[in-house]
Structures are given as C-alpha cells and as structure tokens.
Structure 1
Amino acid sequence: MKYGNFIKQSQFCKVGISNHILRIGQASTTIIQLIKRNSGSNVHNCLGWAARDASGTLSPYQFSRRAVGCDDISIKITHCGVCYADFVWTRNHLGDSKYPVVPGHEIAGIVQEVGQNVQGFKVGDHIGVGTIVNSCRSCDYCNDDLESYCAKGSVFTFNGIDVDGTVTKGGYSSFIVVHQRYCIKIPVNYPLTSAAPLLCAGITVYSPMMRHKMNQSGKSLGVIGLGGLGHMAVKFGKAFGLKVTVFSTSISKKEQALKLLGADKFVVSSDQEQMKGLAKSYDFIIDTASGDHPFDPYMALLKTGGVLALVGFPSEVKFSPASLNIDMRTISGSVTGGMKQLQEMIDFCAAHEVHPTIDIIPIQYVNEALERLAKRDVKYRFVIDIENSLK
C-alpha cells in the first residue's frame, strides 16, 4: 500500500513537473517573441519612398514593419499602381495627412512568409492588397463581405490608423505585412503589372457594375470620362458584351476610345444636338468624371428604369427630380468593393484577358508621375516597378 501510494505520488509529481516545465517553455516562447517584436520595432527593416510635408515631394525613407502574426502574410512588393489618392494625401488636400506618408494602395507582389493560422496562401503565391488592410470583422457590413464599408471604420492601406495605433504605410515600399483577410490571390497566369491598378481603379468601376447587373450582354452602357477609371469601365463593358459609348468633353480622345479601347461609339458631351438624339438610349451609365458637370443631360439618356452610377467626386451633384422620377431612373454612388468581390474581379480579368492600359515606371520617376497624373497626362495608369527600382 505504501509502495503503491509512493508510485501514485511520484506519478503526480512527474505530471506536476511536466506541466511546470511546459509553462516555463510557453513563457520562454512568449518572452522570445516579445524580444523579437520589440527589437524589430527599433530596426528599420523596410525601404520606401515618403512625403515629409504638404509639398508632396517623395524621397527614400526607411521604417519598420511589424512582425508577422498568426494571421498575417508578409508580401514582397513587386509593383504598385499610382492612384490620385496618392496625390491627395501626400499633399494634405484633406487636412488629415500623417507625415511621413508612404502612399500606395494598388499593391501586387509575392508571398514571402505566412503566419501559422493562414489558409489559402503559401510562400511564392502571387498576391494583391487594395485600399484597406483592416476592419472590425464583426459588423453587418464585414459579415456581408463589404469590409470597405465597415461600421466601425475600415483601416486604409496608407495614412490610416491601425488597431494598434500605428499609422499605416503603403505600397511605395519593399514589403508589407497584412492580415490574410485583406489579401487576394492573383492567378499565376495574370501579370502582376496588370493586377496592381485593378486593386483600386478596377474594383471602383467593377463593383457598381456588378451591383446594378451591368454584365448583361447586349445591353447599352455609357461611360462618362476616359481616365484611369473610365478606361476600365470601357474594358469591363466590352468583356460583359455591352454596347459601349464614351462621353467626353474632348474630341481628342475619340481615337483612343474607339481604336485603343474598343468602344462602339464616341460622343462629345457638349454637342447638345447629338446628346438630345440619344435620349432614352442607355440601360446604364458609369460616371467617372470628378470635374463639375451637369447631370440632367446624362439622366435624359437613360431608358426607363435606367441606372447612373457615380464613382467620381464632383464638388456637387445637381439634377431635376423630374429627370429621376418620371422614368423610374436611379442615381447611385459607389467607392469600392469588398474582399470577396475583389477576388472575383481579379479572377474574371484573368479568365477574360482584361488588362488595364499602363505605363511602367521606376520609383525614381514617381514625383513626375504624380504631377502628370494631376494634369491627366497619363494613358491610363502608372505602375511602379518596385522590385527592380527600389534599392
């Protein structure tokens, strides 16, 4: 009996000691992780280009990225699209720029490390990050795959405040660490150079087109404006089998619209007679113009029950209620789409060979590129070759 009790006590001690050793091991692991994380915060492990003040001039800048967490993916950035948002926030046009600003939210690259909980991505995969890198993940909008419209506020890819209080820094940099939910897989057969602009410009027009069922072959689509957004609306429209008309104030864009982009028709919007002759001709209109312009002439072009989707940002929107009500027309606003739709769009572009028209530049040209973008002197998106020029 005593011997048996001794054995039981010994076994109990062994279990107790084992548990104690396990706890020590877990504590040691935690301490090591904290040391790594804290030491990493003092090491500038990422190279980028940043604006330091409202002049907007970008120059080389070193900073730290966080360590890869359980749900994170570390991405080697190969390409980053240049968006007008980059111009706006580097120059503090909205009064909320948090310098130094590292812009860029059209990020394409290659997975270089994954956290232990990451599923669906592995090292070497082609991957993209768009306009947001975080959200609450619990509100109705997040649950409906509309993370960009998160009720508690989504976190912008750059110049945003992340959950840990740090300011986010974007894709004009060598790598980025992002929670897996805000990453999309880029098909291996689709060029990373083409994928980058789709992550903002592409989804900006694709999202309202899908929401309003503008993918019905044989229907008619009008596209107002022929910049980075407008040219993608034309390309999606043609891929959907729509009859596409481009409306522009400049006759100089006629050849681009018809020959380069494949639009079916081009209309100078200031030609009142031509506009009147097209009354009730269109099922859908995508308005990408941010300059101020009248809306009634375009509303009159819609068929009964037609939809005008506004994705530009004019200073004001004015139209007669009659142009809306009498023929059951709809005017709708949109900014972007959620992560599920972003993946859907990339897959569609790969399957149907839809590519943005781009001009690839080195990072050293980015200041000139932003100035040209502001002057609308680009056909149709700049893409920075991060991999080969950021040194």
Structure 2
Amino acid sequence: MSTTRDTPDDSTYLARAWAARGARAPLAPLQIARRAPMPRDVQIEILYCGVCHSDLHYTHDDWHDTLPATYPAVPGHEVVGRVTAVGAEVTAHAVGDLVGVGCLVDSDRSCPICRAGRENFCPGQVLTYGSPDRHGTAPVTYGGYSSSVVVDEHFVLRVPRNLDLAGAAPLLCAGITTYSPLKRAGVGPGSKVGIVGLGGLGHMAVKLARAFGANVVVLTTSPRKADDARRLGAHEVIVSTDAAAMAAHAGSFDFILDTVSAEHDINSILALLKLDADLTLVGAPARPLALSSFALILGNRSVSGSAIGNIRETQEMLDFCGRHGITADVEVIPMQQVNEAWQRLERGEVKYRFVIDMASLKAD
C-alpha cells in the first residue's frame, strides 16, 4: 500500500493521489492527507476507481452555483478496494475484505431523513469529494483517484467476490443510479421498459432491467448502437428519430428510464407511455428540457427524477449484481492516462466506463 505516516501523533498519513489545481488544469500527482482510522472507521487500499462524468463537472467547476469546486480537487466516487485496517468498534468489515465506497462517506445520522434510512437525501450529507471535511484533515473531502481512503463503516459496502473488481467499480454510481428507479417502479416479468440512451448509465440500466425480467427496449438516436444494445440485453431497439417506429410503440410502455444528459425531445418519448405510467430522469442536461403539459395531461402520465440510492439499497444492488453476474463494460486505464481519458469521455469515445487501475500510482 502506497501510504506513509505523516505526523508524530499518528493522526494522519499521506496518500498518493491525482488532483486538479484549477478548473481547467490537468490532473497531476499530489500527496494528500488522510486521517488515521478512528474507532468506527475502515481504511481501504483503493484497487480500482471508476471515472464518472460528475468527476469532470465538479473539477471543471461546472456546478459552481450548486457545488463549487475547491482546489486541489481529487475526484472519484466509484471506489473498489481491500480493507487494510479497521477501528476498534468496527463489526461489519475485517482486514482483507473486498469493499466499495460510492458517492457518500457520511451524513448527520440524526435527522428524520437519516432515521428513515434515506441518508442519500440528508441535508448534511458528506459527498466522497467536494464536501467540507468534518474531521479537518483537509478543507474538503478527497475522492477515489488516490491510493487509499478512510471511511466510516456505515458507508462501506461489501463487494461480491465473484465479480470482476474493475467492472464492479462503476456499480457504486452508475449501477445504483439506475437500479434504484427500476426497483422503485416495480419492473419485472411482463413489464415493457424503455431505456433512453446507451452510455455509462444506459448500458447498466439495460443489464439490470433484463435481470429483473423485463422486456427491455432501448431508445437511441444512433442506429449503429442497435447491435450493442442487443448484446447488452435489449430485446428491441427503437431509433427515436424514426417517427413511424415511435408511433408503432405509442402508449405501450409501463416505465421509461431516461439516462441522457444532452438536450433531447422528451415529449415524443412521453407519448410512448401507457396511461398512468412514469418516465424517470437520471440524466441531467445542462439546460431545462421543454415539457408539454399535454404530453402529461392526455395520458395521466408523470415525469420524476431519481438520485443515487441509500446505503441499504446500494448493498442490495451489489448483492443482486453478484447473483446475476452483472458488471459494467469497462476500459481499464493507468492513472497516467486519465487526462486523455477525460478528453475522450467528453467526446463520448468510451464503451462504456473508464476505470483507473490504482496499482499504476506506484509508478509516480
């Protein structure tokens, strides 16, 4: 493990990381402080970390009004690793366990939302990167583009040992982001489910919906994605710019999950829903989507949004993926290629998720 103790009282240690020092600065090597494990903490050697589009948005300060970036910024919230130390009060994890960390590393634990087990909506939630560090180790939390991390045991998840670890890393964000709305919608045998978009989120949604037993239909603007959609588990593909194909499926979907983060015509998609059915958004376009009232009113339809799931549901998702052998389709890269990977991600040149092999940090 590439960490060394830093202070005489052993309260922190240094970990290798890659960070951006400004909104348009490239990622570069940096040593960061991590706290030594406290009684309820788990120390994790990070083996793999997925690259999420949120990493780019935060680091480039695209979300300045909502989540302003603090530099140096160490992104990464799709973490898979091995436990190297545990605090005296930890009961759920042991040294040597394979574990994961997603988008959250803490919450206030006491508010009504947390008491209801929905810590992912806690007003005091602590994100894996970019949130104020309650322990004072650093100005803000540092993410998974690093050699190790220390996290309260409540926010550490068990990773099924039968899963490929690199492919499991994106489950901690892309997996739970799509699993949660599919599960909430009750999709299963007999359900006709539409997945809009076939990127990092969309390809996970196809795999999960198929494992739930649904009839899965991918909606895409790109005919060239049809073969890959079927390989991933789709029963059918609709090219959404084909008016005749869209009309043939009007009023036939029980549920649609929209994973697209670019501007697109949501009203034509709503027309595909049955009466009283729902379209859930997990993609986040930079500009508001134009929504026709009639697209909702005439079919008593609804549009909803969905964030990541809570910790219990995230563990449920990992166990589900373990039973069904589901992982993301990934391209594994060394850390030294991360800036190039970010450029490719912005151009949409990845199938379907980059994952960083953290062993490459030892070469810095």
Instruction: Normalising by structure 2, report the TM-score.
Output: 0.93
Instruction: Say if 2:30 is the partner of 1:61.
Output: yes
* Match for residue 277 of structure 2 among 294, 306, 321: 306
**How far apart, CA to CA, are the structure 1 residues paired with 2:283 and 2:362?**
32
In structure 1, the residue matched to 2:203 is 231
Instruction: Say if 2:69 is the partner of 1:112.
Output: no
313-322 or 368-377: bigger deviation: 313-322
1:149-164 → structure 2 map (5 Å cutoff)? 149-150=121-122, 152-164=123-135
- Percent sequence identity is 44
Q: Which amino acid aligns with 1:327?
A: G
Post-superposition offset of 1:162: 2.4
In structure 2, the residue matched to 1:210 is 183
Q: Deviations over 1:184-223 (max 9, x none)?
A: 0112222221221000011111111111212x21210111
* Residues 59, 44 of structure 1: alpha-carbon distance in 2 compared, 3 angstrom cutoff: farther
In structure 1, the residue matched to 2:141 is 168
Could you say what secondary structure the match of 2:76 adopts? Answer: coil
* Match for residue 143 of structure 1 among 109, 112, 115: 115
**How far apart, CA to CA, are the structure 2 residues paired with 1:164 and 1:73?**
15
In structure 2, the residue matched to 1:372 is 344
* Match for residue 189 of structure 1 among 132, 151, 162: 162
Aligned CA-pair RMSD? 1.7
Q: Which amino acid aligns with 2:163?
A: Y
**How far apart, CA to CA, are the structure 1 residues paired with 2:335 and 2:218?**
32
Q: Which amino acid aligns with 1:262?
A: G
**How far apart, CA to CA, are the structure 2 residues paired with 1:88 and 1:390?**
27
Contact in 2 for aligned 1:40/1:64 (Cα 8 Å): no
**How far apart, CA to CA, are the structure 2 residues paired with 1:183 and 1:38?**
28
In structure 2, the residue matched to 1:11 is none
* Match for residue 234 of structure 2 among 253, 260, 263: 263
* Match for residue 225 of structure 2 among 221, 238, 253: 253
Post-superposition offset of 1:335: 1.6
Following superposition, which runs of at least 4 residues in structure 1 exceed 3 angstroms of deviation?
Answer: 36-41, 388-391
In structure 2, the residue matched to 1:381 is 353
Could you say what secondary structure the match of 1:327 adopts? Answer: coil
Instruction: Normalising by structure 1, report the TM-score.
Output: 0.87
Post-superposition offset of 1:268: 1.1
Contact in 1 for aligned 2:34/2:150 (Cα 8 Å): yes
Q: Which amino acid aligns with 2:56?
A: F
Q: Deviations over 1:218-249 (max 9, x none)?
A: 21011111100000010001111111111111
Could you say what secondary structure the match of 2:35 adopts? Answer: coil
Aligned residue pairs total 353
**Runs of 5+ consecutive residues of structure 2 not aligned to the other structure:** 1-5
Could you say what secondary structure the match of 2:85 adopts? Answer: strand
1:343-354 → structure 2 map (5 Å cutoff)? 343-354=315-326
Could you say what secondary structure the match of 2:34 adopts? Answer: coil
**How far apart, CA to CA, are the structure 2 residues paired with 1:336 and 1:37?**
36
In structure 2, the residue matched to 1:79 is 48
Contact in 1 for aligned 2:77/2:144 (Cα 8 Å): yes
Instruction: Say if 2:231 is the partner of 1:243.
Output: no
Could you say what secondary structure the match of 2:173 adopts? Answer: helix
Could you say what secondary structure the match of 1:65 adopts? Answer: strand
**Runs of 5+ consecutive residues of structure 1 not aligned to the other structure:** 1-35
**How far apart, CA to CA, are the structure 2 residues paired with 1:134 and 1:292?**
33
Post-superposition offset of 1:39: 4.2
Post-superposition offset of 1:44: 5.4
**How far apart, CA to CA, are the structure 2 residues paired with 1:85 and 1:220?**
30
Larger Rg: 1
Post-superposition offset of 1:295: 1.6
Post-superposition offset of 1:389: 4.3
* Match for residue 317 of structure 1 among 284, 289, 312: 289
Greater helix proportion:
1
Contact in 2 for aligned 1:287/1:310 (Cα 8 Å): yes
Post-superposition offset of 1:38: 6.5
In structure 1, the residue matched to 2:312 is 340
Post-superposition offset of 1:143: 1.6
Contact in 2 for aligned 1:128/1:186 (Cα 8 Å): yes
Contact in 2 for aligned 1:295/1:318 (Cα 8 Å): yes
**How far apart, CA to CA, are the structure 2 residues paired with 1:190 and 1:98?**
34
Post-superposition offset of 1:390: 3.9
In structure 2, the residue matched to 1:50 is 19
**How far apart, CA to CA, are the structure 2 residues paired with 1:253 and 1:101?**
35
Post-superposition offset of 1:37: 6.5
Instruction: Say if 2:149 is the partner of 1:180.
Output: no
**How far apart, CA to CA, are the structure 2 residues paired with 1:100 and 1:195?**
27
**How far apart, CA to CA, are the structure 2 residues paired with 1:123 and 1:130?**
19
Contact in 1 for aligned 2:335/2:360 (Cα 8 Å): no
